[in-house]
Structure 1
Amino acid sequence: MLQREYPLAPLVGVGAVIVHEGRVLLVQRGREPMKGKWTIPGGLIEVGEMLHEAVVRETREETGLEVEPVELVELLDRIHREEGRVRYHYVIADYLCRVVGGQLAAGDDAAAVRWVERAEWNSHSALVFDPITVRVMEAAWQRSTQLHKESR
């Protein structure tokens, strides 16, 4: 069993920035860390699992959607400290993904799922966004737009 809180070493995870029809899919975290906040779907990789496989599995478990990872958007550290100690430490590979199937529904540790327009993360929305999440969504949005133009 992995020790998520106060780990002995960083844990490796993945995230899926799913850009579809001009929107990005977000999940509301159902548990810590960041419970109640809106973020991109994702989770920890399993032993023997490739990063791309983990992105597909985690997205299916949290959202019901089948995705295809397109490319790595960012590799980042998520370190949450509490009273001078590291409570959570994740190294996360966030991927730009496209929807290839499935039925949207909150599952696993997601309290809710919803599509958001770009204006919602670039304004004072009622949704609560972490600045790192906004940065990753914006980078994926820009790359998705660029890929769309190149494919024409």
Structure 2
Amino acid sequence: MQACVGAVVLDAKGRLLLVRRRNAPGRGLWSVPGGRVEPGETLSAAVVREVREETGLEVRVGAQVGRVTIPGNGVVYEVADFVCTLADPSAVPLSGDDADAVTFADAADLDRLPCTPGLVATLRGWGALPS
């Protein structure tokens, strides 16, 4: 099992922060920012680091909204997803690290964007999607 984190970040307009994955798993697909927890790192610290690396944004980590297990190539990812708020609501996201694009998506965007398998259904089940 590889410990991972994800960030469920909504902006002031209620849109979900998404990154398009540059690398496997999920290359070319949209997902919430996140990634592997480094040795000795807390889950909260990992969320802050991953969001900063992938989007340039600073967040405040809130409650864990859910957990998912994602099978990968020879590894199983155990992902803890956290609700986060933007430290600076006026900051503009920039893609970096594992992300080749960044956007804030509303409900209509989520219906048309190619997202990682199960992302929309999982977030909907947790009540974490934009309305």
**TM-score by structure 2 length?**
0.87
User: Higher helix share goes to which structure?
Assistant: 1
| C-alpha contact (below 8 Å) 1:12/1:92 kept by paired residues | yes
Residue of structure 1 equivalent to 2:100: 111
Which residue identity does 1:65 align to in structure 2? L
Q: Which 4+ residue blocks in structure 1 deviate beyond 6 angstroms?
A: none
User: Higher strand share goes to which structure?
Assistant: 1
Which residue identity does 2:108 align to in structure 1? A
| C-alpha contact (below 8 Å) 1:56/1:67 kept by paired residues | yes
Q: Could you say which structure has the larger radius of gyration? A: 1
CA RMSD of aligned residues (A): 1.8
Residue of structure 1 equivalent to 2:77: 90
Unaligned 5+ residue runs, structure 2? Answer: none
Residue of structure 1 equivalent to 2:3: 12
Which residue identity does 1:60 align to in structure 2? R
In structure 2, how many angstroms separate the alpha carbons of the residues matched to 1:136 and 1:57? 23
In structure 1, how many angstroms separate the alpha carbons of the residues matched to 2:85 and 2:127? 11
CA deviations on 1:77-130 (whole Å, 9 max, x unpaired) are: 0013xxxxx534100001111100354100101011011002222x3x1x2023
| C-alpha contact (below 8 Å) 1:96/1:140 kept by paired residues | no
In structure 2, how many angstroms separate the alpha carbons of the residues matched to 1:25 and 1:140? 15
Identity among equivalent pairs (%): 38
**TM-score by structure 1 length?**
0.76
Residue of structure 1 equivalent to 2:60: 68
| C-alpha contact (below 8 Å) 1:73/1:136 kept by paired residues | no
In structure 1, how many angstroms separate the alpha carbons of the residues matched to 2:127 and 2:40? 27
